[in-house]
Amino acid sequence: MLTTNKFYPTGKKTSYLRPLWWAIYGTVVVYLAKSNMLQLNMPLTVASILGTAISLFLGFRTNSAYQRWWEARKVWGEIVNESRNLSRQIMCYGSESEVEMRTRILRRHIAWCWALTSHLRKTPQEEALRTYLVPQDYDRLVQKENQVNDLLLLQESDAKALLVNKSIDDFYYRKISSTLQRLCNAQGKCERIKNTVFPTQYALFTLVFINLFLLVLPWCLVGALGYTAVVVHVSVGFTFGMIQNIAESIQDPFENAANDIPISALSRTIERDILESMGEVSLPDRIQDENDILM
């Protein structure tokens, strides 16, 4: 996630040379028209109709990409809130017995957050898992394909053990189980966003329509604007291209890119909150942005 506004995205899909190509094309068209070497003047109405249609299409595509990004951010907001709920429930519900098991549940939840981060970004988080899991949990986890889901299963088992040992009553157990269920739902939402490919037709046909529009535009402007048509042509193309690039940069919020949801920083926030609720004094440092990018 960018922590400051960038005028031009720096993603791999951005073509910095595109405005230059359109400037060259517009200049050639205007030169040919003004030199009477090629007469292909088009009415300005053609550009107006095409530009309006592309604007609507591009707006819909950008809005769809933003809704996908914003949904991912809301889901992680739910994870932060439910993590605090779980910490409060484990620490405060029932008698003060089973301290070791309560501590293991909370430390395992920290591992769950980092495992989910790793699951979504396909980046290893071995250090966090080794730090917060007991050896038998870690040995079990490395054999599982969906490690995040298996950690929730262990959480539910320990919550049930608290009930069996009469550390909590049935009412408190149901509250904890409900929190774990909401965390599982949040995991499913993240996986749905991650595994559902944004329709490639949006990117393909948006780019085709923009290029078609920019091919026609200078022929519509040259009669009225002369060489000024080159400036207008490049400006319009740059604007449409920027909007297209912005949509591409936010449509996949878990790809470990600059415009991602900062799930590593959010996981660290959860980690600090839970450790603090357990009475820990020495807390890990917050993750800071690097070059205005917070991951």
* Pick from 258, 264, 276: nearest CA to 6: 258
Residue 97 confidence (pLDDT): 64
Residue 66 confidence (pLDDT): 92
Residue 28 has, within 13 A of its CA and on its CB side, a CA count of: 7
> What's the rounded Cα separation, in Å, for the pair 187 and 148?
8
Residue 38 confidence (pLDDT): 64
What tokens appear for 120 in the block?
């979504």
Residue 27 has, within 13 A of its CA and on its CB side, a CA count of: 6
| Total of domains in the chain | 1
> What's the rounded Cα separation, in Å, for the pair 229 and 223?
9
Q: Over 90: is that where the pLDDT of 78 sits? A: yes
Residue 154 inside a domain? The answer is yes
Residue 183 inside a domain? The answer is yes
Q: Over 60: is that where the pLDDT of 4 sits? A: no
- pLDDT tens per residue across span 237-282: 888 888 888 888 888 899 888 888 899 999 999 999 999 988 888 8
> What's the rounded Cα separation, in Å, for the pair 251 and 245?
10
DSSP H or E run through 195: helix 170-195
**Which residues does 92 contact at the CB level (< 8 Å), separation at least 6?**
none
Share of the chain above pLDDT 70, in %: 91
- pLDDT tens per residue across span 90-118: 988 776 667 888 889 999 999 999 999 99
Mean pLDDT of the chain: 84
Q: Which residues of 103-142 are buried (b: 16+ CB within 10 A; e: fewer)?
A: ebbbbbbbbbbbbbbbbbbeeebeebbeebbeeebeebbe
Residue 29 inside a domain? The answer is no
Report, as an integer, the average pLDDT of 31-51.
75
Residue 171 inside a domain? The answer is yes
Q: Which long-range contacts (CB under 8 A, 24 or more apart) does 138-147 make?
A: 141/115, 146/119, 147/115, 147/119
Task: Give the structural domain span for 102.
Answer: 79-198+262-283
Global pTM?
0.84
- pLDDT tens per residue across span 138-196: 899 888 888 999 999 999 999 998 888 888 888 899 999 999 999 999 999 999 999 98
8 Å CB contact between 221 and 232: yes
* Pick from 258, 261, 251, 254: nearest CA to 290: 258
Residue 111 confidence (pLDDT): 94
Residue 206 confidence (pLDDT): 81
Structure-model confidence comparison of residues 106 and 32, the more confident one: 106
> What's the rounded Cα separation, in Å, for the pair 52 and 48?
6
Residue 12 confidence (pLDDT): 44
pLDDT bracket for residue 13 (50, 70, 90):
very low
Q: Determine how many CB atoms are found less than 10 A away from the CB of residue 37.
A: 8
Report, as an integer, the average pLDDT of 25-35.
76
Residue 11 confidence (pLDDT): 43
* Pick from 262, 276, 271: nearest CA to 1: 262
> What's the rounded Cα separation, in Å, for the pair 61 and 82?
32
Residue 31 inside a domain? The answer is no
* Pick from 244, 235, 233, 210: nearest CA to 44: 233
